[in-house]
Amino acid sequence: MELYSGYINKLIEELSSLPGIGNKSAQRLAFHLINQPEERVRRLADTLVDARSKVRYCSDCFTLTDRDTCPICANANRDHKTIMVVENPRDLAAYEKTGKYEGVYHVLHGAISPMLGIGPGDIKLKELIARLQKDVDEVIIATNSSLEGETTAMYISKLIKPTGIRVTRIASGVPVGGDLENIDEVTLLRALDGRKDL
C-alpha cells in the first residue's frame, strides 16, 4: 500500500539516498519541504543545481572551487614549495581554519583501500606527482590515521622518496580512525608541528 502520494515517495527516496540521511530523516525533510512556500523550495533547488554545475576542481590542488585556480593556490603570499596532502576538501578546511598553515595543499579525493577496491589510480595521485616537477621543498602527508590513510601515506612516501624531496607525516596525536575535520585546532597544529620525516 502506498502511504503517501507518488511525489512524496519519490522525494523521500531521493533524500534518503544522501549520505547520513536515513528513511526517518528523509521523511521529516520531505514534509518540511512540502510545507515551505514554493519560492523557497525553488531557491533551494536552484542553489543545488548551481553548485553542481559551477563548482569544479582547482587545476592545481584539486580542491573544490568555482574558479580555475582556488584562492589558496592563487595567493602569491602562500609558500608554494610546501604541499600538504589531504584526503578531501573538508580536511583542507580544517587546517585552513587554524590560520597557521602557510603552504598549499593537494586534495586526493579519497584514500587507497584494497578492501573497497580503491587503488592509486582512483585518487588524485598522478596529479600530485606531476606537481613535484615544479620547485617543491616538502610534501606533508596529512591523510587520516585510519588504515586507508596510513596505507596511502606509505604509498606516497615510497613514490616521492626517490625524487629527494622531503616527505613528512603529521604526528599521530590524531586519534586512530579519526577524521581530521572532527579534530580541534590545537591538536591539528600539534600534529603539524610534530611531523616526522618518512
Binding site for Zn ion (CB under 5 A): 58, 60-61, 70, 73
Smaller CB separation from Zn ion, 12 or 104: 104
Write down the least CB distance from residue 107 to Zn ion, Å. Answer: 8
Smaller CB separation from Zn ion, 27 or 98: 98
Sheet of 138-141: strand order equals 103-107, 79-86, 138-141, 166-169, 196-197
Write down the least CB distance from residue 84 to Zn ion, Å. Answer: 12
Residue 42: CA count within 13 A, CB half-sphere: 3
Is the Cβ–Cβ distance between 16 and 23 less than 8 Å?
yes
Is the Cβ–Cβ distance between 185 and 154 less than 8 Å?
no
Three-state DSSP at 56 gives strand
Smaller CB separation from Zn ion, 60 or 148: 60
Write down the least CB distance from residue 124 to Zn ion, Å. Answer: 12
Is the Cβ–Cβ distance between 84 and 95 less than 8 Å?
yes
Write down the least CB distance from residue 61 to Zn ion, Å. Answer: 3
Is the Cβ–Cβ distance between 108 and 123 less than 8 Å?
yes
DSSP-derived secondary structure for 77-92: TSEEEEEEEESSHHHH
Write down the least CB distance from residue 93 to Zn ion, Å. Answer: 13
CB atoms within 10 A of CB 122: 15
Smaller CB separation from Zn ion, 107 or 112: 107
Write down the least CB distance from residue 108 to Zn ion, Å. Answer: 13
Smaller CB separation from Zn ion, 105 or 148: 105
Mark out the alpha helices in 20-146 (DSSP H runs).
23-34, 38-54, 71-74, 89-98, 125-131
Smaller CB separation from Zn ion, 102 or 184: 102
